[in-house]
C-alpha cells in the first residue's frame, strides 16, 4: 500500500471568538490531583493518547497538511524521531494527567527538541521542553556547576507541565492558545487577542499578529497529533511504547562518577548521560546521595549490589580558596592528591595561582577512575579568539589563558584548543564532545573502543599511540557522540 500524501484542498476553518482571559495578576496556578487507578488498561501510550485526546476529527488547514506531508515523505526519519520518546513519554503522560491536561501535549517535545534532553537552541533554550533561563528560574529549575535541571528529563517535565497548566487555564483551556503562549509568551498573545477583539476582528490564533514561528508552531503540533491519532490511515507503524513506566531510579550514597556507575550498571556512558542529562560533569553533584534514572528492570538487581559499589567508588569534591602561601604542591599534600590531577581538573596551564582563586579538589578512593570532561576545538581558517569566544560563550582572554596564548596572537590552523567545560555535552554547532580517560589496569584499546562505541583507529590517531601500547595511568583523549 502506497503511503498516503494529503492534497491541499480543504474547507477553511471557522474563526473562533475567544470567550475570556483570566488576568495574570488574578490567576492562581492549578493544583495537581492524585492519580487514580485507570478504568481501562490501555495497550500502549498511543492508544491512551488517542482515546483521551481533546483533538478529535480535527479539520486540517493547508499549513498543517504541509507538515504532515513532510513527515510522510520520510517514514524512516519519522520512526527514528518517535523512538526518541521511548524512555520519557509515559512519565510526561502521567504528569499531564495529574493536572488534567490534554494527553496529546505529551507529543510537544517532538517539535520542541526531538525528545532530546541535550537539545540547545541558538537562543539558549534547553532540554526536552526548551526552557529559556527566565522561565526556568520562575519554575525553580536550578543551574549549578554540577547540575543543569533544564536538561534533566524528569525534573524539567514537572516544571513544563506546571507551566502548561498555567497557560491552559489562563487561556480558557483553548489548546491553540496554550501552544501559542508556550512558544511566543502569554503576554504577547493576550495583547494581540485583546487588540483584535477591540477592532472587531477574529481572535483565531491564525488571525493574530504573532511571529511566524509561533503561527507555524500550532500546525506543526497538529500535524504530529494527526499522524499519531490516525496512524493506520497513513500506514504508519508506531513503535511499541507500553503504558507503564520504563524508567526507575536507584539511590546511592554520596557522590558518584558517571563512568564508574556505567560500568556497575553495565550500560554505555552515553546512555547513562541521556537518562540523567541534568548531570553536566563527569560525576553527580556533591552531597549525601545520588539518584540515577535507569531502565526499570535494572532497579532491583542494582539495589542488591549497590552497597559494595558505593564503598569502592564513592567520591567527594570540595573547593579550596587560594590564600597567601598556597601552592599546588601544598594543596595536593593537604588533600592527598597529585599536582597533575589538580591541574587537569581545573584546566591550569601553569603552576601560578591567584589570591582568592577557587580550585576544585577531587577526593576519591580510586585514583584510576578520574573521568575529566574536556571540550576541544580544532582551529580552521578564519577562526579568531573573538569568534571562538562568541561561539562558546567564553571571554577571548579566558581561551587564550587556557591555551598559553596571548590575546593578540594569530591562531595556527589545525591546532587543538582547550575550550574548557562550560558546554561539554553539546554546543549549538557540534554534536561531539572530547573527554580525557585514565587508563586502568586490564584496559586494552579494544575494551576502551567498545566502552565508548568508537573505532580503535580513532583512539590511536587522536593520541599518537605507537605499536598499540597503552599503560595504566596514561590519559587518553576520547571523542564520543553527544546524542
Tens digits of residue pLDDT in 348-370: 888 989 887 878 777 654 444 44
Question: Would 10 be classed as within a structural domain?
Answer: no
* pLDDT tens digit sequence for 401-454: 767 778 877 888 777 776 754 433 333 233 455 666 777 777 889 888 877 768
pLDDT score of 426: 33
Question: Would 289 be classed as within a structural domain?
Answer: yes
Pairing of strands 371-373, 358-364: unpaired
How many structural domains comprise the chain? 4
Closest CA to 208 of 223, 220, 190: 190
Give percent above pLDDT 90 in the chain. 45
**What confidence category does residue 132 fall into, taking pLDDT thresholds of 50, 70 and 90?**
very high
Q: Are residues 40 and 182 in the same domain?
A: yes
Q: Are residues 86 and 183 in the same domain?
A: yes
Q: Are residues 61 and 179 in the same domain?
A: yes
Domain of residue 326, CATH code: 3.10.350.10
Question: Rounded to an integer, what distance in angstroms lies between the CA atom of residue 72 and that of residue 59?
Answer: 18
Q: Are residues 98 and 116 in the same domain?
A: yes
- Hey, how many other C-beta atoms are within 10 angstroms of the C-beta on 307? 11
Q: Are 367 and 342 in contact (CB under 8 A)?
A: no
The domain containing residue 134 runs over which residues? 24-229
Residue 290 grid cell: 545520588
pLDDT score of 86: 96
By CB neighbour count within 10 A (0-12 exposed, 13-18 middle, 19+ buried), where does 410 fall? exposed
Question: Rounded to an integer, what distance in angstroms lies between the CA atom of residue 253 and that of residue 255?
Answer: 7
pLDDT score of 432: 54
Q: Are 272 and 303 in contact (CB under 8 A)?
A: no
Q: Are residues 215 and 287 in the same domain?
A: no
Amino acid at each position: 500500500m502506497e503511503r498516503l500524501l494529503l492534497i491541499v484542498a480543504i474547507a477553511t476553518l471557522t474563526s473562533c471568538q475567544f470567550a475570556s482571559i483570566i488576568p495574570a495578576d488574578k490567576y492562581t496556578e492549578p493544583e495537581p490531583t492524585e492519580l487514580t487507578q485507570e478504568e481501562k488498561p490501555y495497550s500502549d501510550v498511543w492508544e491512551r493518547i488517542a482515546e483521551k485526546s481533546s483533538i478529535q476529527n480535527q479539520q486540517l488547514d493547508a499549513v498543517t497538511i504541509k507538515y504532515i506531508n513532510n513527515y510522510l515523505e520520510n517514514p524512516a526519519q519519522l520512526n527514528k524521531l518517535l523512538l526518541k520518546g521511548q524512555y520519557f513519554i509515559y512519565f510526561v503522560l502521567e504528569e499531564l494527567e495529574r493536572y488534567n491536561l490534554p494527553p496529546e501535549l505529551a507529543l510537544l517535545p517532538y517539535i520542541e527538541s526531538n525528545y532530546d534532553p541535550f537539545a540547545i537552541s541558538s537562543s539558549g533554550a534547553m532540554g526536552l521542553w526548551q526552557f529559556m533561563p527566565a522561565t526556568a528560574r520562575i519554575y525553580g529549575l536550578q543551574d549549578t556547576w554540577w547540575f543543569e535541571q533544564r536538561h534533566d528529563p524528569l525534573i524539567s517535565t514537572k516544571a513544563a507541565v506546571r507551566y502548561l497548566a498555567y497557560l491552559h487555564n489562563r487561556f480558557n483551556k483553548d489548546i491553540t492558545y496554550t501552544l501559542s503562549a508556550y512558544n511566543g509568551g502569554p503576554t504577547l498573545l493576550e495583547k494581540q487577542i485583546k487588540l483584535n477583539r477591540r477592532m472587531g476582528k477574529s481572535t483565531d490564533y491564525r488571525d493574530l499578529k504573532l511571529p511566524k514561528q509561533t503561527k507555524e508552531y500550532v500546525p506543526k503540533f497538529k500535524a504530529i497529533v494527526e499522524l499519531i491519532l490516525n496512524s493506520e490511515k497513513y500506514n504508519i507503524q508506531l513503535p511499541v511504547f507500553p503504558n507503564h513506566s520504563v524508567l526507575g531510579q536507584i539511590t546511592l550514597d554520596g557522590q558518584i562518577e558517571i563512568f564508574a556507575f556505567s560500568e556497575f550498571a553495565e550500560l554505555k556512558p552515553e546512555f547513562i548521560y541521556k537518562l540523567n542529562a541534568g548531570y553536566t560533569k563527569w560525576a553527580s553533584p556533591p552531597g549525601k546521595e545520588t539518584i540515577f534514572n535507569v531502565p526499570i528492570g535494572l532497579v532491583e538487581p542494582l539495589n542488591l549490589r549497590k552497597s559494595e559499589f558505593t564503598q569502592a567508588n564513592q567520591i567527594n569534591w570540595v573547593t579550596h580558596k587560594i590564600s597567601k602561601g598556597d601552592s599546588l604542591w601544598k594543596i595536593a599534600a593537604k588533600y592527598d592528591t597529585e599536582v597533575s590531577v589538580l591541574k587537569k581538573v581545573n584546566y591550569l596551564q601553569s603552576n601560578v595561582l591567584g589570591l582568592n582563586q577557587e580550585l576544585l579538589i577531587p577526593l576519591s578512593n580510586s585514583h584510576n577512575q578520574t573521568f575529566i570532561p574536556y571540550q576541544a576545538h580544532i582551529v580552521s581558517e578564519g577562526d579568531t579568539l573573538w569568534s571562538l569566544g562568541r561561539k562558546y560563550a567564553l571571554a577571548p582572554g579566558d581561551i587564550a589563558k587556557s591555551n598559553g596564548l596571548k590575546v593578540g596572537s594569530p591562531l595556527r590552523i589545525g591546532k587543538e584548543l582547550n575550550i574548557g567545560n562550560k558546554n561539554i555535552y553539546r554546543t549549538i554547532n557540534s554534536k561531539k564532545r572530547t573527554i580525557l580517560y585514565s587508563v586502568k589496569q586490564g584496559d586494552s584499546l579494544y575494551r576502551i573502543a567498545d566502552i565508548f562505541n568508537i573505532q580503535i583507529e580513532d583512539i590511536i590517531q587522536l593520541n599518537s599511540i605507537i605499536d598499540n601500547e597503552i599503560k595504566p595511568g596514561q590519559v587518553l583523549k576520547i571523542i564520543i557522540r553527544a546524542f
